[in-house]
Amino acid sequence: MSPLQPLPNDPQHPLFTLIEIMARLRDPVGGCPWDQQQTFASIAPYTVEEAYEVADAIERGDLGDLKEELGDLLLQVVFHSRMAQEQGAFDFASVAAAISDKMIRRHPHVFGDHAYDDQAAQTAGWEALKAQERSAKAKTGVLDDVPAGLPALTRAVKLTKRAARVGFDWPSTREVLDKLREELAELEVEIEACDQAKAREELGDLLFVCANLARKLDVEPEDALRATNAKFSRRFAFIEAALAKDGRTPDQSDLAEMDALWDAAKTAEKTR
């Protein structure tokens, strides 16, 4: 298959329009100076940001925003594909063809005549196919293709999940909780010793165990932390609103008063 594939042949197709818009923006003559200057590296942070905004829209259950954010994420794929096309590497159609081939290859029970006995067998088959792909890419290590650019908590879960598949795992959450207490105690020692470097290392160990615990509980740690962030913001807004009734701001209050308002916010949430 050629790395450069033909564009959709229907000029009225929305995807054709989007691809043409990006080509125009990147055009050295008459294009947008900002878009012309971008590289894979400069665009990558926006790609990650758009993915998070998609997740946020899903979390809020806002389908209108979800449609818009998915469009923004699609633009990122078109942007990267256009830059690659300019280098003669691949284009959008090649990207779509590659993922189509991959999905067909990884679902022989849907697109072929293979049959799995149960969900566990299907998962094992999926992992075996991925292992073959890693081998073809000369990535033979169990952890080789876990992307380094993932958010740290997400990557920790993926690393430990991959290791668990070959038997390197705690038997139950009890052992993880024991390890959590051990790491917390070690962190306390370094804090007492005022050793910033070692405290940083122990905090990393503690967070890594938390990621392991999330995996054991089948909880996505980024989602859990995102929900807690939202809860904190909501309760702090309650504090601000309560103080504003007296014409004050948080910096004109004290910890005891704000702590009491925090408890009031918690009570208000429970009674809703």
CB neighbours of residue 206 within 10 Å? 17
Helix residue ranges per DSSP H, 61-118: 63-86, 92-106, 108-111
pLDDT band at 120 (very low <50, low <70, confident <90, very high): confident
What pLDDT, in 10s, does the model give residues 136-162? 776 668 888 788 878 899 999 999 998
Asked whether the beta carbons of 243 and 249 are under 8 A apart, the reply is: yes
The residues near 189 (Cβ < 8 Å, ≥ 6 apart) are 202
Angle, vertex CA 190, rays to CA 186 and CA 192, nearest 5? 115
pLDDT band at 4 (very low <50, low <70, confident <90, very high): low
Tokens of 60: 């809020």
Mean pLDDT value of segment 6-12: 61
Domains of the chain: 14-106 (1.10.287.1080), 155-217 (1.10.287.1080), 223-270 (no CATH)
Sequence letter at residue 218 = D
CB neighbours of residue 81 within 10 Å? 20
For 101, list phi and psi in degrees, rounded to 5: -60, -40
Q: 112: helix, coil or strand? A: coil
Sequence letter at residue 185 = A
